């Protein structure tokens, strides 16, 4: 069992068209590193040159925005759902 | 999953460029990548939001002060600066709302030159959202959509419902389930499919992104947002035109997602570029409620990252805890030399009462936020007392009556007799009986 990562449409070209992939890691940072190993090229789209999540990328662990948790150090475990979602403007 | 990029439902790839269109295309605000003027709302590469890019040289040739004189008094008088290709088809009577000098309020606040830009009487749904919806629905029709939708804190719900009814479009409206009754009724009357979601606005918004990825609808504030958001510029154009093409020194603006601030800034930049106004750009001030102040907090901390919050405020129309334009709004405010602050629920209500008692304008809670913050900034010396100040009133108080119910006292109830009138009103009577 692993963590399910939901991939936004623009990045699905890097995951052979899959909207969900399985990855492993104990934190969001480790998970993204594993995602990059399995699907090379994806991390530079999600993270800036310093390896930090881009300003307009929101990551949710089990429906909660990681900025309300421990950011990219938020813990993840087998069976969790992680979503990568572009910031959605509202109003 | 949010479908970041979708194409037009009935795109006409070989359509001849329209000579009336001044849109060059869409451009990423972050990395500058360019996209065709279709249904694209975030950059495929870096996830930055995309914005409409115009041919200002072409605009300059037809958009002149002389040409404006003969145009209708609606937001469409600025048509060249709006992102449509043909003639406007929706919201032909929206915009060009009152702008007036507010001397009694100025006196109460101890300032010299104060103006109200009053979208509380916007036609037809009594908020500034009529501007963005007019543009969004005109563009949605051009793009071939027959169904429109939105995620809303209330005012947008009312406006999409009404304009889509008149335009003959199918309409799906999503709101948090705890909205004020006035906003619920003022949507239902137009017979949309109104979906009340048990969650915050931010949760509604995220749900709508997923629905938008699955259904071929124009979500005005999601997948056709680059066009929609441009409608807010007309609020800024009107301030300049109604001031006689002068630039006010200070503008206090409410913020939910932060878009209005960025578009007022853009409006003044465009007017300067086109030679309509001269001089220094206005200083912009962001007003939020204390119970939901992610942008104001970022500005006050001069930070780069907007930290999301969980909203808890009576100003429900501003209750967006994760404002996607927060970063740009922060940049616009700080770049202009402006500032920000937030108001408590009591301060919001006091400001609503003050505006009504001095200027005869009944604004919603969001207007209370704006005025309460303006008052605070004046008291702090951030807003100079002897310079021109515009307060942006963007919605109508009839829609948000609940927080006022126990705060305004009661009517004096009497029997239908003169004796009852005089005994009950007693010392409230002034002037004495007529001779």
Instruction: Give the tokens for residue B162.
Output: 């009404």
Residues of chain B in contact with residue A57, where contact means CB-CB under 8 angstroms, are: 47
Residue B407 has pLDDT above 80, yes or no: yes
> Is B317 part of any domain?
yes
Q: Say what the pLDDT of residue B304 is.
A: 84
Model pTM greater than 0.90?
yes
> Is A63 part of any domain?
yes
In this structure, what CATH number is given to the domain that contains residue A64?
Answer: 3.10.20.30
Tens-place pLDDT, residues B251-263: 999 999 999 999 9
SS3 B343: strand
> Which of the four pLDDT bands, split at 50, 70 and 90, describes residue B10?
very low
Q: Which residues are CB-neighbours of B147 under 8 A, at least 6 positions away?
A: B169, B170, B171, B172, B215, B216, B217, B218
Helices (H), B231-281: 233-242, 259-273
Tens-place pLDDT, residues B224-244: 999 999 999 999 999 999 999
Which structural domain range is residue B376 located in? 99-125+230-404
* Per-residue three-class SS string for chain A: CCEEEECCHHHHHHHCCCCEEEECCCEHHHHHHHHHHHCCCCHHHHECCCCCECCCEEEEECCEEHHHCCHHHCECCCCCEEEEEECCCCC
B124: cis peptide before it, omega within 30°?
yes
> Is B245 part of any domain?
yes
The whole-angstrom separation of Cα A85 and Cα B2 is: 6
Residues 47..76 of A with a Cβ closer than 8 Å to B: which?
54-58, 65, 67-68
Q: Say what the pLDDT of residue B18 is.
A: 62
Q: Say what the pLDDT of residue B434 is.
A: 65
Average pLDDT over residues B302-310: 91
The whole-angstrom separation of Cα B260 and Cα A14 is: 36
> Which of the four pLDDT bands, split at 50, 70 and 90, describes residue B427?
confident
Which structural domain range is residue A54 located in? 3-86
Chain A touched by B48 (CB under 8 Å): yes
Q: What's the length of chain A? A: 91
Residue B350 has pLDDT above 80, yes or no: yes
> Is A91 part of any domain?
no
Measure the CA angle with vertex B269, ends B67 and B141; round to 5°. 65
Nearest-CA residue of chain B relative to A85?
A: B2
> Is B341 part of any domain?
yes
Residue B3 has pLDDT above 60, yes or no: no
Q: Say what the pLDDT of residue B89 is.
A: 98
> Which of the four pLDDT bands, split at 50, 70 and 90, describes residue A56?
confident
Tens-place pLDDT, residues B113-162: 999 999 999 999 999 999 999 999 999 999 999 999 999 999 999 999 99
Q: Say what the pLDDT of residue B37 is.
A: 96
> Beta-strand (E) ranges in B264-359?
283-289, 340-343
| Chain A / chain B CB contacts < 8 angstroms | 97
Residue B2 has pLDDT above 60, yes or no: no
Mean pLDDT lowest for which of A87-91, B252-256, B342-346, B391-395?
A87-91
Average pLDDT over residues B374-386: 98
Chain B touched by A87 (CB under 8 Å): yes
Nearest CB among B4, B151, B323 relative to A8 is that of: B4
> Which of the four pLDDT bands, split at 50, 70 and 90, describes residue B1?
very low
Share of chain B above pLDDT 90, in %: 85
Q: Say what the pLDDT of residue A90 is.
A: 60
Residue B13 has pLDDT above 50, yes or no: no
Residue B150, strand partner residues:
B173
> Is A56 part of any domain?
yes
In this structure, what CATH number is given to the domain that contains residue B329?
Answer: 3.40.50.1100
Residue where the block lists tokens 């307060």 = B391
- ipTM for this prediction: 0.83
Nearest CB among B46, B206, B229 relative to A88 is that of: B206
The whole-angstrom separation of Cα B251 and Cα B257 is: 18
Residue B12 has pLDDT above 80, yes or no: no
Residues of chain A in contact with residue B1, where contact means CB-CB under 8 angstroms, are: 6-9, 19, 83, 85
Q: Say what the pLDDT of residue A89 is.
A: 61
Tens-place pLDDT, residues A16-53: 999 999 999 999 999 999 999 999 999 989 998 888 89
Nearest-CA residue of chain B relative to A53?
A: B46
DSSP assignment of B364-389: -HHHHHHHHHHHHHHHTTSS-TTSEE
Mean of the per-residue pLDDT values for chain B? Answer: 93
Chain A touched by B49 (CB under 8 Å): yes
Domain count within chain A: 1
> Is A55 part of any domain?
yes
Tens-place pLDDT, residues B14-53: 344 566 789 999 999 989 999 999 999 889 888 888 999 9
Chain B touched by A7 (CB under 8 Å): yes
> Is B374 part of any domain?
yes
DSSP 8-class letter at B304: S
> Is B10 part of any domain?
no
Chain A touched by B156 (CB under 8 Å): yes
Share of chain B above pLDDT 70, in %: 95
> Is B345 part of any domain?
yes
Q: Judge: B225–A55 Cβ closer than 8 Å, yes or no.
A: no
> Is B120 part of any domain?
yes
> Is B352 part of any domain?
yes
């Amino acid at each position: 069992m692993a963590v399910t990562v939901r991939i936004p449409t623009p990045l699905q070209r890097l995951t052979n068209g899959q909207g969900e992939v399985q990855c492993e890691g104990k934190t969001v940072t480790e998970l993204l590193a594993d995602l990059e190993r399995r699907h090379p090229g994806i991390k530079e789209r999600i993270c800036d040159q310093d390896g930090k999540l881009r300003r307009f990328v929101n990551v949710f662990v089990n429906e909660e925005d990681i900025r309300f948790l421990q950011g990219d150090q938020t813990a993840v475990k087998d069976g969790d759902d992680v979503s990568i979602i572009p910031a959605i403007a509202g109003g | 999953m949010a479908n970041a990029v979708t194409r037009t439902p009935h795109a006409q790839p070989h359509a001849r460029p329209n000579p009336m269109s001044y849109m060059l295309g869409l451009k990423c605000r972050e990395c500058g990548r360019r996209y065709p003027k279709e249904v694209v709302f975030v950059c495929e590469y870096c996830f930055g939001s995309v914005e409409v890019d115009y041919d200002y040289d072409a605009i300059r040739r037809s958009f002149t002060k002389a040409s404006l004189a003969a145009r209708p008094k609606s937001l469409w008088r600025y048509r060249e600066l709006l992102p449509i290709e043909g003639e406007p088809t929706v919201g032909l009577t929206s915009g060009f709302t009152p702008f007036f000098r507010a001397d009694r309020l100025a006196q109460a606040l101890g300032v010299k030159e104060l103006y109200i830009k009053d979208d509380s009487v916007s036609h037809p749904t009594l908020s500034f959202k009529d501007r963005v919806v007019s543009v969004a629905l005109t563009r949605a029709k051009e793009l071939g959509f027959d169904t429109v939708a939105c995620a809303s804190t209330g005012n947008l719900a009312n406006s999409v419902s009404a304009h889509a009814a008149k335009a003959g479009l199918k309409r799906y409206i999503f709101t948090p389930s705890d909205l004020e009754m006035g906003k619920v009724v003022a949507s239902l009357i137009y017979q949309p499919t109104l979906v009340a979601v048990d969650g915050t606005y931010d949760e509604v918004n995220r749900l709508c992104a997923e629905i938008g990825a699955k259904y071929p609808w124009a979500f005005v504030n999601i997948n056709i947002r680059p066009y929609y958001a441009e409608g807010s510029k007309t609020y800024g154009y009107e301030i300049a035109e109604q001031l006689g093409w002068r630039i006010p020194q200070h503008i206090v603006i409410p913020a939910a997602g932060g878009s209005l601030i960025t578009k007022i800034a853009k409006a003044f930049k465009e007017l300067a570029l086109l030679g309509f106004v001269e001089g220094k750009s206005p200083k912009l001030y962001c007003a939020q409620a204390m119970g939901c102040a992610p942008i104001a907090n970022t500005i006050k901390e001069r930070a780069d990252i907007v930290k999301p919050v969980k909203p808890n405020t009576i100003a429900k129309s501003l209750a967006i805890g994760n404002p996607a334009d927060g970063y740009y709004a922060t940049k616009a405010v700080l770049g202009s030399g402006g500032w920000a602050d937030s108001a408590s629920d009591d301060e919001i209500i006091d400001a609503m009462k003050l505006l009504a008692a001095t200027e005869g304008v009944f604004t919603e809670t969001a207007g209370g936020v704006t005025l309460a913050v303006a008052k605070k900034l004046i008291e702090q010396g951030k807003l100079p007392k002897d310079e021109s100040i515009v307060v942006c009133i963007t919605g109508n108080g009839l829609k948000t009556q609940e927080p006022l119910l126990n705060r305004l006292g009661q009517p004096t109830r009497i029997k239908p007799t003169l004796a009852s009138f005089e005994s009950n009103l007693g010392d409230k009577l002034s002037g004495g009986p007529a001779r």
